[in-house]
A = this chain, B = another copy of it.
């Protein structure tokens, strides 16, 4: 079947590794140091020339949005249960909060990367703020689907409440620089109980 597999174009093959290396280095640097990191530091960390960077991206804003999108996808799938995990809706929701509890115990955790980016940019129309919002909405969508399957009185309200608890917990872990110690799971549990998800 190799003959039917589309071969990557010469351009794609040549640029993909550079692009990925740049985005991975950028995501780590933006998260640890903030969105005001300069182009020079970015290129140095990625081992990429400025010329190469500008061949792939039109601006630093463009790099920031693309790197958040790439890193965000991994962050979100690390929080969610496996799609084929055979768990009741309540356990699928609680999985997310247990993952957040684990993350918060790491000294490297500086809060939800989407919130961090949005707080730093202070511009809801920036392309990276739009990416951040899309991922926050994806988490709310996950909660809403599970809340509905779990028989919540008001799945949409519960989904937004759980997102608020997720964000507030992640912010707390960052601002206090310490583990949540069960606060996120206890708060999610109280709201699931109140919403009738057993």
Known: A133-B175, A176-B133. A186 touches B168 (CB 8 A): no
Contact partner of A167 (CB less than 8 A), chosen from B136, B163, B168, B186, is: B168
Residues A110 and B132 in contact, CB atoms below 8 Å apart? no
Which residues of chain B have C-beta atoms less than 8 A from A161's C-beta? 183, 186-187, 190
A194 CB → nearest B CB, Å: 5
- Count of chain A residues with Cβ under 8 Å from any Cβ of B? 43
In the complex, which residues 132-164 of chain A have their Cβ closer than 8 Å to any Cβ of chain B?
132-133, 136, 157, 160-161, 163-164
Known: A119-B120, A177-B124, A191-B191. A184 touches B164 (CB 8 A): yes
A26 interface contact, C-beta 8 A: no
| 0 or 1 for each of A157-198: is its CB under 8 Å from B? (1 = yes) | 100110111111101101111000001101100110111000
A116 to chain B: closest residue by CB: B119
Residues A120 and B34 in contact, CB atoms below 8 Å apart? yes
- Tell me the bound Cα distance from A28 to B171 in angstroms: 22
- Tell me the bound Cα distance from A34 to B119 in angstroms: 9
Residues B168 and A171 in contact, CB atoms below 8 Å apart? yes
Which residues of chain B have C-beta atoms less than 8 A from A190's C-beta? 161, 190-191, 194-195
Which residues of chain B have C-beta atoms less than 8 A from A9's C-beta? none
A53 CB → nearest B CB, Å: 21
A-B contact pairs, 12 of them (CB 8 A): A36-B36, A115-B119, A118-B174, A119-B119, A119-B171, A119-B175, A160-B183, A161-B187, A165-B165, A167-B172, A168-B169, A193-B194
* 5 interchain residue pairs of minimum CB distance: A168-B168, A124-B177, A164-B168, A167-B168, A119-B119
